[in-house]
Amino acid sequence: MPVTAPESKHPHAATVDRAPVAEAEDAHQPFIPASQDIPELTPVPLIVGALLGILFGASSMYLVLKVGLTVSASIPVAVLSITIFRAFTKVFRVRRATILENNITQTTGSAGESIAFGLGVTMPALLILGYDMEISQLIVVPPRRPSSPAWASGRSSRSATRRSVSSRTSPRRSSARPTTAGTSRSR
């Protein structure tokens, strides 16, 4: 007689290694129904998000250049946006910001911080690789790579010049004394 597993007899029952299966009637209910029309993309969340993005972008840029790493600003920007909007509501007696406006603020602020981080780790690497950076090239990444890196062409520092000169000279001779032409050494 074949032995069947307990979950095969009752497919919606929980076992030690299996959670109960959701019923078909338990459909997903969105937080904001599609029939409800609430403000989402308004100027205030964009301005607050841009200001928070500048603030956290500057701190992220400082951290990435000073320490070499940074933290994500998504959660601090989200918490600050809720706090700022609640303060606006109490001080200026305006309507409360919706969850969608808080989402726009958090997304805008987080994107500003992420761009600053990307710039902070990319531009120093491009300088090390030998790109000559001008202000126009800081805004737009240069389209071509230089023919040789700065350390090989001697454009950057004095030590790089010494390395490039020493790499072009012939290999060092052995430590044995050189012999003069026409003489032979006997032991």
Token pair 């969608």: residue: 100
Show which of 105, 129, 153 is a domain's final residue.
129
Whether residues 158 and 113 share a domain: the answer is no
Residue 10: pLDDT over 90: no
| 24 neighbors 11 (Cβ within 8 angstroms) | no
68-94 core/surface letters (b: 16 or more CB in 10 A; e: else): eebeebbebbbebbeebbeebeeeeee
Q: What is the pLDDT of residues 77-108, one digit of tens each?
A: 999 999 999 999 999 999 999 999 999 999 99
Distance of CA 67 to the CA centre of its chain: 15
Question: Which pLDDT score is estimated for 71?
Answer: 83
Answer yes or no: is 170 within a domain.
Answer: no
Q: Indicate the pLDDT class of residue 165, thresholds 50, 70 and 90.
A: very low
Q: How high is the pLDDT of residue 3?
A: 57
Q: Is 95 helix (H, G, I), strand (E, B) or coil?
A: coil
Number of domains the chain is built from: 2
Is residue 154 located within the same domain as residue 79? no
pLDDT tens, residue by residue, 37-81: 999 999 999 999 999 999 999 999 999 988 888 888 899 999 999
In this prediction, what percent of the chain has a pLDDT beyond 70? Answer: 59
Binned at pLDDT 50, 70 and 90, residue 164 comes out as: very low
Question: Is residue 9 included in any domain, yes or no?
Answer: no
| Of residues 172 and 42, more confidently modeled | 42
pLDDT digit string, tens, across residues 120-156? 888 888 888 888 777 776 667 555 655 555 555 555 5
160, pLDDT greater than 50: no
pLDDT of residue 8: 55
Among 111, 129, 147, the domain boundary falls at: 129
Residue 54's domain comprises 43-129
68 and 90 belong to one structural domain = yes
Residues 50 and 125 in one domain: yes
User: Is 167 a residue whose pLDDT tops 90?
Assistant: no
Average pLDDT of span 158-177: 49
Question: For residues 166-185, b (16+ Cβ closer than 10 Å) or e, as one string?
Answer: eeeeeeeeeeeeeeeeeeee
pLDDT at 103: 95
